[in-house]
Structure 1
Amino acid sequence: MTEYERSRTMPALPEHIFDQAAHVDQLETWLPQDLHVNAGDLPAVTVHEDRTDEDTSALFRAQRDQMRLEWGTRDQGSYAGWLQVAGIGSGASEVTVHLSFFDDSHDPGEKAVRDALESSLQRLEEQVRLRVDNAAG
């Protein structure tokens, strides 16, 4: 099993970040650009990966009371992940994303995962900023 984790401090309340991240119809605005999520009967979703042109049955759960998202493959159990939002005061939050690959054949490698996590956190911060700015003005 291989695990990866990245964190990022964002200048927004945890509720704003969580609400943006958990909106299943807007996951593509911050997930790696080659992943597309189609919501089924939640928690069931289908994830399409452009790189492999494959669809994978997956699960997606949002737990607002814990400010936590969890996801993973449904049938083969080869991959899982979570996102946790924690308020750190002064209107800022820390967002942590954790990925676990239980099957090494599904692990794209440390550099690819590190780059994808960093890009995803940056895109999530941009989406939150757009949402907060639009709500304020």
Structure 2
Amino acid sequence: MTEYERSRTMPALPEHVFNQASSVDQMDDWLPRSLHVRADDLPAVTVHEDRSSEDISALLRAQKDQMRLEWGTREQGSYAGWLQVAGIGSGASEVTVHLSFFDEADDPGAEAVHDALDQSLERLEQNVRLRVDDGTGG
């Protein structure tokens, strides 16, 4: 098993960040550009991967009281992850994303994963800023 983790501080309340991150309809705005999530009957979702043109059955659970998202593949059991939002005071938050690949064949490698996580967290921060700046708060 290979695991990766990245964190980023965001200038918004944790509730605003979590609302943005956990909205299935807005996940395409911040997830890696090659992944697209469609809600089936939550927690069931379908993830479309552009690179392979595959639709993958997955589970996505949002635990608002813990400000945590958890996800993973269903049939294959090859991949799982979580996103945790924590308030750090002064209206700011820290977001941590953790990925686990259970099969080496599914692991794209450290550089690719770290780049994708960094870019996703940057896009999430941009989307949160837009929502906070326009007054909708997520």
Provide, for residues 90-115 of structure 1, a one-character-per-residue CA deviation record: whole Å limited to 9, x for no partner: 01110000000001111111100000
Alignment partners' CA distance in 1, 2:87 and 2:95: 9
Which residue of the partner structure matches residue 50 of structure 1? 50
Alignment partners' CA distance in 2, 1:96 and 1:29: 18
Alignment partners' CA distance in 1, 2:67 and 2:80: 17
What value does the CA root-mean-square deviation take over the aligned residues? 0.7
Alignment partners' CA distance in 2, 1:37 and 1:90: 32
Which residue of the partner structure matches residue 106 of structure 1? 106
Q: Which amino acid aligns with 1:6?
A: R
Unaligned runs of 5+ in 2: none
Which residue of the partner structure matches residue 65 of structure 1? 65
Which residue of the partner structure matches residue 92 of structure 1? 92
1:4 paired to 2:4: yes
Provide, for residues 33-88 of structure 1, a one-character-per-residue CA deviation record: whole Å limited to 9, x for no partner: 00011110000000000011111000001000000000000111100000000000
Q: Normalized against structure 1, the TM-score is what?
A: 0.98
Unaligned runs of 5+ in 1: none
1:74 paired to 2:71: no
Alignment partners' CA distance in 2, 1:119 and 1:50: 17
Q: Which amino acid aligns with 1:55?
A: D
Secondary structure (helix, strand or coil) at the match of 1:41 reads coil
Percent of pairs identical after alignment?
Answer: 77
Q: Which amino acid aligns with 2:22?
A: A
Q: Which amino acid aligns with 2:113?
A: V
Q: Which amino acid aligns with 2:94?
A: E
Q: Normalized against structure 2, the TM-score is what?
A: 0.97
Q: CA deviation at 1:3?
A: 0.1
Which residue of the partner structure matches residue 30 of structure 1? 30
Structure 1 segments of 4+ aligned residues over 4 angstroms from their partners: none
1:15 paired to 2:15: yes
Alignment partners' CA distance in 2, 1:49 and 1:78: 15
